[in-house]
């Protein structure tokens, strides 16, 4: 998790985070930090740090094995569509997980059939037992069906075909007097990549009212100085005395 965060600045998922989520959703077991790092032009340490941050933020909640129970002799996967009183929906959904054989519970934002419960039974009697225990909890089973097959794929807009074309905004905060602080990732091909902060000012890339107040690199938070070099993949915190126009950030994105 990032070692320093500003109060009032909520985490925003940027293009690096999206690409991590895409590959982990596609195949978490075989996703290698170095491969994602090469694609996004950052270091593997940055990818590992981002994964820890996504976990800490509750965005990346876990890594679930995709088990084909049908291939195990005698086992069948069912889905029960249930109705719970709205005030009790959350509590009953959590309680359903305690029933032996229940492998997944989804809360649905509807008035009826507002909880979907996926169960695995080793026999017809076992499935009947699970249904009975769910009913005893207070869930009304509306219908049930056998799950013949289930298919998954990652969310495609987070994938490679939607590569970033500019600086990837991570956080934004407005301050009193019209000042702003923005946090973003320096993209590949950025005009200032490889330049020191002092050179960027001299070349006119950073206006007088702008101040680089923080740089995160490979999980470490650096104190920016004039001789500090801006690198691709850096998470830069930029303070501006006045509101920032979109054009002002183009030098941190792809040319």
* CB proximity list for 89: less than 8 A, separation 6 or greater: 107, 114, 115
Euclidean distance between CA atoms 152 and 7, whole angstroms: 37
Euclidean distance between CA atoms 197 and 202, whole angstroms: 9
User: Hey, what domains does the chain have and what are their CATH numbers?
Assistant: 10-64+152-163 (1.10.10), 69-146 (3.30.70.100), 164-255 (3.30.70.1450)
* Residue at token pair 């946090």: 183
Mean pLDDT of 154-178: 67
Condensed to tens digits (0 to 9), the pLDDT of residues 49-72 reads 999 989 999 999 999 888 989 889
> Across the chain, what does the average pLDDT equal?
84
Query: Does the pLDDT value for residue 1 go beyond 70?
Result: no
CA distances for 32 relative to 44, 145, 147, angstroms: 9, 38, 32
Q: Identify the residue with better confidence: 109 or 3.
A: 109
pLDDT above 90 covers what percent of the chain?
43
Q: What is the structure's pLDDT at 241?
A: 78
pLDDT above 70 covers what percent of the chain?
85
Euclidean distance between CA atoms 105 and 28, whole angstroms: 22
Query: Does the pLDDT value for residue 148 go beyond 70?
Result: yes
Q: Positive or negative CA dihedral for 117, 121, 126, 127?
A: positive
Condensed to tens digits (0 to 9), the pLDDT of residues 216-234 reads 887 788 889 999 999 888 8
Greatest extent of the chain over all pairs of C-alpha atoms, in Å: 78
Pair of tokens at residue 19? 């690409």
Query: Which range is least confidently modeled, 17-21, 63-67, 104-108?
Result: 63-67
Pair of tokens at residue 36? 């994602």
Residue count (the chain): 255
pLDDT category of residue 171 using cuts at 50, 70 and 90: low
DSSP state of 100: T
């Amino acid at each position: 998790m990032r070692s320093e965060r500003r109060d009032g600045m909520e985490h925003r998922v940027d293009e690096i985070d999206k690409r991590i989520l895409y590959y982990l959703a596609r195949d978490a077991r075989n996703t290698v930090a170095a491969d994602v790092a090469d694609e996004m032009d950052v270091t593997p340490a940055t990818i590992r740090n981002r994964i820890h941050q996504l976990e800490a933020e509750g965005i990346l909640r876990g890594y679930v094995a995709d088990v084909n129970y049908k291939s195990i002799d005698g086992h069948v996967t069912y889905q029960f569509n249930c109705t719970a009183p709205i005030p009790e929906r959350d509590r009953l959904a959590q309680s359903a997980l305690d029933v032996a054989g229940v492998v997944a519970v989804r809360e649905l934002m509807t008035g009826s059939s507002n909880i979907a419960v996926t169960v695995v039974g080793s026999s017809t009697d076992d499935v009947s037992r699970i249904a009975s225990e769910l009913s005893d909890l207070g869930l009304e089973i509306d219908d049930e069906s056998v799950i013949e097959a289930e298919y998954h794929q990652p969310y495609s807009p987070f994938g490679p075909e939607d590569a970033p074309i500019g600086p990837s905004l991570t956080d934004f905060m407005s301050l009193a007097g019209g000042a702003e602080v923005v946090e973003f990732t320096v993209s590949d091909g950025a005009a200032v990549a490889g330049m020191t902060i002092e050179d960027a000012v001299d070349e006119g890339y950073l206006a007088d009212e702008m101040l680089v107040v923080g740089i995160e690199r490979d999980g470490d938070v650096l104190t920016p100085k004039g001789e500090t070099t801006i690198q691709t993949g850096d998470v830069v915190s930029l303070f501006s005395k006045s509101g920032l126009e979109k054009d002002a950030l183009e030098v941190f994105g792809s040319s």
